[in-house]
Homo-oligomer: A and B are copies of this chain.
């Protein structure tokens, strides 16, 4: 493995340490259990910040921001705590503008840093604000959801949604450090934990057949938060993501494979108004749909979709796209940012453990159904 070097034991704060190799923008991922109270020294070292703001939703902040702040203050860092509303609807330009103003009021300057403490929404929003506040200040990801541990906190994609669609505004901006304390998952609602499994399954499905088999063995143990299973699966997931990102930081090609299930999932989320469906749930159903289309188009062997669908169902994720008229799905795809003129770079599964980009039109992704049924009834 060339891009993400593994270092066992003896690392900062215990646990496991990975390095994401991106030249001058390289950074480390620290994974452990109960290491939150030891994060301060490493955050101070990586950001060189004399002042930080910890951004979180109220509930996560109440639970963990104090522990993190204490650790930072013992390093002589001034700490501010800022809350943003819970949920994906907080990930927009209005909330970003509020954060800019809050940081100006608190006197954050170019020698300050931001810490995203929470899930993907907090990470994406905080990262976007870090990328653009004063033309960019350092930031650190401290993910507290399974989804953000294995996905959102690695790769440098930051951004906000527009009313027209998800992640339409953003940047590629790398954190200085990712600090993962798996013990924080204990306070995560079950539905959120299940949602995070979608990206875990995705990484295995597109990249690592052996990992997929392993998940078929340990899926339940993960959901029950077995510490050893958690650490090894999260580590392997970060490795996969880090490897893909290091080989294609700005999403020119390879990295787009990580969008497996996302084009469809985003469409489902857009149509649902980001309300009823969690991101992981959308990805789960999107993957199953994409695997089905891959089979129908002769790209994947028979049985591929069934095996994926079985695992998605076993972890408790929905497997069917929500019912909206076909024309609504087609319209939702037309603002998808991966669209290149009329065609979308659809991520097809070639087999369990292997994916490929295939240019398809929205109409090929959602073919008309005989008898006038909507496409969404297909899967």
Chain A residues proximal to chain B, CB less than 8 Å: 50, 93, 96-97, 100-101, 104, 107, 109-111, 131-136, 157, 159, 162-165, 167-172, 250-251, 334-335, 337-341
Are A107 and B168 also in contact (CB < 8 A) when A50-B341, A93-B93 are? no
- Write the nearest CB–CB distance from A247 to chain B, whole angstroms: 16
**A340-B110 in contact (CB<8A):** yes
Please tell me if the beta carbons of B172 and A135 are within 8 angstroms of each other in the complex. yes
Chain B residues closer than 8 Å to A339, beta-carbon distance: 109
A133: contacting residue among B136, B163, B168, CB under 8 A: B168
CA of A164 to CA of B102, assembled, Å: 11
Choice from B96, B132, B159, B163 contacting A135 with Cβ under 8 Å: B159
CB < 8 Å neighbour of A93 from B97, B167, B340: B97
Report B-chain residues with C-beta under 8 Å of the C-beta of A159.
132, 135
B171 touches A104 (CB 8 A): no
Residue on B with the closest CB to A251? B135
Q: Which residues of B contact A340 (CB under 8 A)?
A: 109-111
Known A-B contacts A110-B340, A162-B101, A337-B110; the reply to A132 vs B134 at CB < 8 A is no
Q: Are B170 and A135 in contact (CB under 8 A)?
A: yes
Question: Which B residue's beta carbon lies closest to that of A109?
Answer: B339
Q: A365 CB to closest chain B CB, in angstroms?
A: 16
B169 touches A171 (CB 8 A): no
**Contact between B110 and A171, CB atoms less than 8 A apart:** no
User: Sorted from nearest, which 7 A-B pairs have the closest CB atoms?
Assistant: A134-B337, A135-B170, A104-B164, A109-B339, A132-B169, A111-B340, A104-B335
With A134-B168, A169-B133 as contacts: A334 and B162 at CB distance below 8 Å: no
Instruction: Name the CB-closest residue of B to A133.
Output: B169
For the complex, what is the distance from the CA of A172 to the CA of B341, rounded to whole Å? 28
The distance in angstroms between the C-alpha atoms of A280 and B336, with both chains bound, is 41
Nearest Cβ on chain B to A164's Cβ, whole angstroms: 5
When the two chains form the complex, which single residue of B109, B132, B164, B251 contacts A171, counting CB atoms closer than 8 Å? B132
Residue of B nearest to A167 (CB): B135
Q: Which residues of B contact A132 (CB under 8 A)?
A: 132, 159, 169-171
CB proximity of A63 to chain B, nearest CB, Å: 31
Q: How far apart are A341's CB and chain B's nearest CB, in angstroms? A: 7
Chain B contacts of A250 at CB under 8 A? 136
Whether A107 contacts B334 in the complex (CB less than 8 A), given A100-B169, A132-B170, comes out as yes
The CA-CA distance from A338 to B135 in the complex, in Å, is 11
Q: A109-B340, A111-B341, A132-B132 are in contact. List 20 more A-B contacts (CB 8 A).
A: A93-B93, A93-B97, A100-B162, A100-B169, A101-B164, A104-B162, A107-B334, A110-B337, A132-B159, A132-B169, A133-B169, A134-B168, A134-B169, A134-B337, A135-B169, A135-B170, A135-B171, A135-B337, A136-B172, A136-B250
The minimal Cβ–Cβ distance linking A264 to chain B, given in whole angstroms, is 18
Return 19 A-B CB contacts under 8 Å, by A number: A93-B97, A100-B162, A107-B334, A109-B337, A109-B339, A109-B340, A110-B337, A110-B338, A110-B340, A111-B340, A111-B341, A134-B169, A134-B337, A135-B159, A135-B167, A135-B170, A135-B171, A135-B172, A135-B251
In the complex, how many angstroms separate the beta carbon of A342 from the nearest chain B beta carbon? 10
- What residue of chain B has the Cβ atom nearest to residue A163's Cβ? B101
Q: CB-CB < 8 A to A171: which residues of B? A: 131-132, 135-136, 171
